Amino acid sequence: MREGVGALGDRIAGGLLLVVAAVAWWLSHDFTSGFGQAIGPGAFPRLVSVPLGLLSLYLIIHPGVNQRWPERSALFRQLGLLVLLMIYAGLIQPLGFLPTALLTVTLMIRLFGATWRQALPFGGLLTVGLYLLFEFALGMPLPDMPGLNW
């Protein structure tokens, strides 16, 4: 069985979702109805935000079980992955696929637990392999490097 931990997470999530429901309800009144419609664009979001709010309240009062949250070292690895992928998203258009992927894939392999001796060759291998697979075998154009055709 998975180990359960305290219900604080559920309470916080319930609180956040309650705010979401309230904001959704509030904003839905601005969606002004066009003429000739039985119910306007705001009705359905309102209809959904009511049970969302009630269920969030219930979750705050009757929280359930949460899974164990990650340890600090795991949290850093996860943050690292997210930062890495945001860098990829930011660089893919200006730099093109090959340099961006080479950088991120190599660092990602390192992040997932390989040594540098493994990460460097396999990062290159995976990048080139994926490039050949997508660009040529599957015919999906990838962003090119500036000034080059590949």
Partner 1 sequence: MELLAFLGQGFVVALEPQHLFLALVGCALGTLIGALPGLGPVNGVALMIPLTFNFSLSATAALILLVSIYYGCMYGGRISSILLNIPGDEPAMMTTLDGFPMAQQGRGGEALGLTGVASFVGALVSTIGLVLFAPMLVDFAIRFGPAEYFALFVLAFATIGGVTGGHLAKSFLAACLGLLLGTVGIDAVSSVPRYTFGWYELYDGIDFIVALVGLFAISECLVFLEDSHQGRKPAMTLGSALPGVRTAWHCRGSIGRSSVLGFIAGVLPGAGAALGSFLSYTLERRWQGARGDFGNGDPHGVAAPEAGNNAAAGGALIPMLSLGIPGSGTTAILLALLLSMNITPGPLLFENQPELVWGLVAALFIGNLMLLALNIPLVGLFARVLRAPGWFLMPMVVMVAFVGVYSLGNSAFDLYMMLAFGVLGYVLRKLEIPTVPVVLGLLLGGQMEYNLRRAMSISGGDWSIIWNSGISVGIYLFAIALLLGGLLFHWLMKRRI
Q: Which residues within the stretch 88-127 sit at the binding site for partner 1 (CB under 8 A)?
A: 88-90, 92-93, 97, 101, 105, 108-109, 111-114, 118-119, 122, 126
Q: Where are the alpha helices (H) located in 29-71, listed in sequence order? A: 43-61
Q: At what angle do helices 97-111 and 72-95 cross, to 10 degrees?
A: 170
| Bridge partners, 5 (sequence order) | 66
Beta strand segments in 55-134, E: 66-67
Beta strand segments in the chain, E: 4-5, 66-67
**Contacting positions for partner 1 (CB under 8 A):** 9-10, 13, 17, 20-21, 24, 27-28, 31-34, 37-41, 43-45, 47-49, 51-52, 55-56, 58-59, 62, 64-67, 69-70, 74, 77-78, 81-82, 85-86, 88-90, 92-93, 97, 101, 105, 108-109, 111-114, 118-119, 122, 126, 130, 134, 138-143
